[in-house]
Amino acid sequence: MNKTQKQIKPLLNPRIDRNFKSIFTQDREESRIALKSFLSAMIGETITEVTVKENEPAIQFDGEKGISFDINCVLGDGTTAQVEMQGLDKDCDFGNRAEYYAARLVSSNRLRGEDWKDMPKSYQITVMNFMFDKKNEAPIHHYTLTDTNDGAKLPGIINVIFMELPKLPPINDKTDIEALPTAIKWGKFLQEVDNPKKKSIIDRIAKSEEGIMKAEVMLNALSDERWNWIIQGKIEGQERDIRSGLANAEERGIKIGEKRGLKRGMKANAIANAKNLLAMKLGTHEQISQAIGLPIEKIEELAKEIEE
């Protein structure tokens, strides 16, 4: 490497849901600015106030207990929003899933006044690192309740927004960054920020949007923590296992059976990985539970086995 050439710092992959959430939910001003910018871009309205709510435990992988990586928040006017990153197509019907989560958000809302007109809106926002609708080339879709005959819309209390990263338009050093919609800038940032070959383009995007610049600051800070890289490696390994298992199942025509076998194999692999981390004393029991996706009770049980 040329002595005058500056080495590019490796960055965590923001398309992994844990890293995605971490960018927006730290107790730092940079996180708050980034989240308001992202929500404003996706919803299409300027967001000036947002409060992040605590998540309830939820599964990360089918059949396993883990940590919920959704971002649940309330905006200044009472509007609720749930934001998530889906890095892997787990063969789910994401349309049905999104409608269910959006309806659940609405049902959890309370009227701001005594009239139905005071009902706050709810937004289910999903960033997908895969194609959801392969028949439609548009990368961003905002769904509301509409009449199937003439397209007439209800007030828009229920909102589902999808961003499909693979559909985003390509950009290069000649692209007019300032002319891009902010939502597209956010999409390209999430898609390319950890690619060293795209650094010059990402720098231009960050300079054009304060929220994205703050998100880059947060991702740099998170990337300085060795434990975050350990967790990312475990998650990437599990996702590769899922992809391989599904591909093999489809080839042999026994998809359902393979999924069950994959779950059992993944659990055995998770237990083996947890034992290795415990033996090497890498992290607390809570950190290992989060990294591997096993309940804290199971980690403590394994720790006792190792001690014996």
Task: List, for residues 9-31, the tens digit of each pLDDT value.
Answer: 899 999 998 899 999 999 999 99
Return the pLDDT at 91: 57
Distance from C-alpha of 272 to C-alpha of 170, rounded to nearest angstrom = 41
**Backbone torsions φ then ψ of 241, nearest 5 degrees:** -60, -45
Return the pLDDT at 273: 75
Whether this prediction's pTM lies above 0.75 is answered by: no
Return the pLDDT at 299: 83
Return the pLDDT at 284: 82
Contact 133, 164 (CB under 8 A): yes
Contact 159, 124 (CB under 8 A): yes
Query: With a cut of 50, which residues of the chain have pLDDT below it?
Result: 1, 3-5, 56-68, 253-254, 257-258, 262
Phi/psi class of residue 110: alpha, beta or left (left: φ > 0; alpha: ψ in -120 to 50)? Answer: beta
According to DSSP, the β-strands at 158-164 and 122-128 are parallel
Return the pLDDT at 244: 63
Return the pLDDT at 155: 87
- Taking only the tens place, the pLDDT of each residue in 94-136 is 888 888 888 888 887 766 656 777 788 899 999 999 998 889 9
The residues that bridge with 161 in the sheet, in sequence order, are: 125, 142
Distance from C-alpha of 163 to C-alpha of 119, rounded to nearest angstrom = 26
SS3 string, 210-233, reads: HHHHHHHHHHHHHHCCHHHHHHHH
Contact 283, 299 (CB under 8 A): no
